[in-house]
Amino acid sequence: MKVLVAVKRVVDAYVKIRVASDGSGVETANTKMSMNPFDEIALEAAIRMVESGQASEVIAVSIGPEAVQEQLRTALAMGAQRAIHVDGPSDLEPLAVAKTLKALCDREAPDLVILGKQAIDDDSNQTGQMLGALQGWGQATSVSALEFDGGKAIATREIDGGLERLAVKLPGIISVDLRLNDPRHPKLPDIMKAKRAPIEALTLDDLSVSTERRLDVLEVREPPVRTPGVKVNSVSELIAKLRDEAGVMP
């Protein structure tokens, strides 16, 4: 089984986000960047499939400028067998990403595509669903447990009021949630080996993918500062303050 995993370069999850001065987006200059946490979980799931004998190859893919090769080398250090860099803008819309992944699926013929359910920079949660529609493949989203039975992936996902189990016929698409696993930390020898590993380079033109924009970001701004709370000495005082805030007569 061949598994394709998409990884995205994002601002590190532990960095305090700063909005750009012109309100066009988040400031990334001189900011620590990392692999999207949901994509790390997707990659870990694929690597464990190889280790358990359920898969033969993991291909890590990233779309963006040359800097994304840093995340691809992290993927190789974690255990991916191959890496593909598709050169393009860092702010591609989900539909353009899905079309790029479709072109790679047509080229590589994977049995399974595993994605993070969303990227922490835009929280779109759309790429997996769009890829499933473009490919005509079955999919399971926000997966928190994954196993395989014959030619099917058995996915467990949380829904309102409980858990739902889905059987996805392969080839198929899985997008994963945070509860699926805890990604490994690459060992130093693997990191050094990944630095010398080849990364296949492609362009969006090579894949015949259009980057025409359909969405425009009008403004990015920080949330309003939360006002401090007020301490009260009794329930009656609390009720009086709530009535006063709501403009309700006693």
Give a yes or no: residue 200 inside a domain.
Answer: yes
Give a yes or no: residue 236 inside a domain.
Answer: no
- Tally of residues, the chain: 250
Give a yes or no: residue 196 inside a domain.
Answer: yes
Give a yes or no: residue 49 inside a domain.
Answer: yes
Q: In degrees rounded to 5, what are phi and psi of residue 237?
A: -70, -35
Positions of the chain with pLDDT under 70: 247-250
Collapsed DSSP state (helix, strand, coil) of residue 111: coil
Residue 180: per-residue pLDDT: 92
Collapsed DSSP state (helix, strand, coil) of residue 92: coil
Structural element, H or E, at residue 99: helix 94-108
Give a yes or no: residue 246 inside a domain.
Answer: no
Residue 219: per-residue pLDDT: 82
Q: In degrees rounded to 5, what are phi and psi of residue 192?
A: -65, -40
Give a yes or no: residue 233 inside a domain.
Answer: no
Which residues constitute the domain of residue 172?
2-224
Give a yes or no: residue 159 inside a domain.
Answer: yes
Q: What is the pLDDT of residues 132-164, one digit of tens each?
A: 999 999 999 999 999 998 889 999 998 888 999
In one-letter notation, the amino acid at residue 138 is G
CATH number at residue 71: 3.40.50.620
Residue 248: per-residue pLDDT: 65
Residue 20: per-residue pLDDT: 80
Residue 212: per-residue pLDDT: 84
| Total tally of structural domains belonging to the chain | 1
Collapsed DSSP state (helix, strand, coil) of residue 166: strand
Give a yes or no: residue 123 inside a domain.
Answer: yes
In whole angstroms, what is the distance from residue 210 CA to residue 213 CA? 9
